Structure 1
Amino acid sequence: MKKAITFLIFLIPILTIGQSNPFEKLKYDKVVAYEYQGEGGLLIERCLDEENDKINKTLNLTEKQTKNLEIILTSEKAYGNTTMSCFDPHFAVIYYLKEKVVGTINICLDCNYLIASEKIPATELKMIKISDDYSYPAKGFSKKTRKEIYEYIKGLGFTKYLRPLTSYLDE
C-alpha cells in the first residue's frame, strides 16, 4: 500500500504537466508580439482588422521568447491580485498557423489583467472573498508577475506605452 501511495504522489504531477499551460496545445508556426494603442478595450484581433494605424511596433518572437511569456502567464503564482475595469491593452501576442490566427493574448498592465483566447487555469486558483456567500477569482497579476511582464515587454524593445509600475498594485 505504501508503494502505491508513493507511486501516485510521483505520477499525479507527471499527468498534469502541460495542463497548466493551455498554449502548449496550440499548433502554430509563428508568434508575433504587438505594441499598440488599445484604448477602449480594443483587442489586437480587431485592431489588425479595423485599426492598423494604432499598431506601433511588431516583433516575431523566437520559440524561447514565446515559452518565457507562457511560463510567466501560466504560473500558479502569477495571479491573486485585483483588477481594474479599464482594459486598455498595449501589448498583445498572436499565435499564427499558415497566417491564420489560432491564439491570442492581450495584456493591460494598467488594469492588471489579460484577455486570452485560451483559458488559463492559474487565473482561478485564488479567490477574493466578499462574504461567506460570495467570492470571485483573483485573476489580477501578482506583484511579481507584473514586474516580470514589464521586464519581458521592455526586453522586446516595446516601450512606447510602457509606463513605470507605480500603482498600489506594485507597492
Structure 2
Amino acid sequence: MKNLSIYIIFLIPFLTIGQNNPFETLEYDKVIAYEYQGEGGLLIERCLREEKEKINKTLHLSEKQIEKLEKILISEIAYGNTTMSCFDPHFSVIYYQNEKIIGTIDICLDCNYLISSEKIPATELKMIKISDDYSYPAKGFSKNTRKEIYKFVKELGFNKYLRPLTSYLDK
C-alpha cells in the first residue's frame, strides 16, 4: 500500500500537465490582437459585429507572442488582487480557425481583470475572505502581472488606450 501512495504522489503532476493552459486545447490557425475602445463593457466579438469603428489597431500574433501572453495569463501567481466593478477593455485577443472565432480574451488593466472564453484555473487559486462564511476568488491581476501585460501590449505597438500604471494596484 505504501508503494501505491508513492506512485499516486508522483502520478498527480503528470495527470495535471496540460490542464493549466486551457488555450492548448484550442485548434486555431491564427490569433489576432486588437486595440480598441471597449467602454461600457464592449467585448471584442460584439465590437467586430456592431462597432468596428472602435477598433484602433490589429496585429497577427506569432506563435512566440501567443505563448508569451498565455504564459503571463495562466501563471499560478498571475492573480490574487481585487478588481474594479467596471469593465472597459482596450486589449483583446481572438483565436480563429478557418475565420471562425473559437476563443477570446478581453483584458482591462483599469478594472484589473479579464474575461476569457476559456476558464483559467489560476483565477480561482486565491480567495479574498470577507468573513468566516463568505469569500470570493481574487481574480484581479497581481502587481507583477499588470506590469507584464502592460509591457506586452506596448511591445505589440498598442498604446492609444494604455494609461500609465499608477493606481493603488501598482504601488
- Whether 1:148 and 2:152 are equivalent positions in the alignment is no
Map of 1:94 onto structure 2: 94
Map of 2:37 onto structure 1: 37
Q: Which amino acid aligns with 2:127?
A: M
- Whether 1:49 and 2:49 are equivalent positions in the alignment is yes
Structure 1 unpaired stretches of 5+: none
Measure the CA separation in 1 of the matches of 2:147 and 2:16.
27
Map of 1:114 onto structure 2: 114
Other structure's SS at 1:27 match:
coil
Q: Which amino acid aligns with 1:74?
A: I
Map of 1:137 onto structure 2: 137
Map of 2:74 onto structure 1: 74
Query: How many residues align structurally?
Result: 171
Q: Which amino acid aligns with 1:51?
A: E
Measure the CA separation in 2 of the matches of 1:14 and 1:75.
17
Superposition deviation, residue 98 in structure 1: 0.1
Map of 1:17 onto structure 2: 17
Deviating above 6 A after TM superposition, structure 1's stretches of 4 or more consecutive aligned residues are none
Identity %: 79
Structure 2 unpaired stretches of 5+: none
Measure the CA separation in 2 of the matches of 1:167 and 1:29.
37
Q: Which amino acid aligns with 2:144?
A: K
Superposition deviation, residue 50 in structure 1: 0.4
Q: Which amino acid aligns with 2:106?
A: N
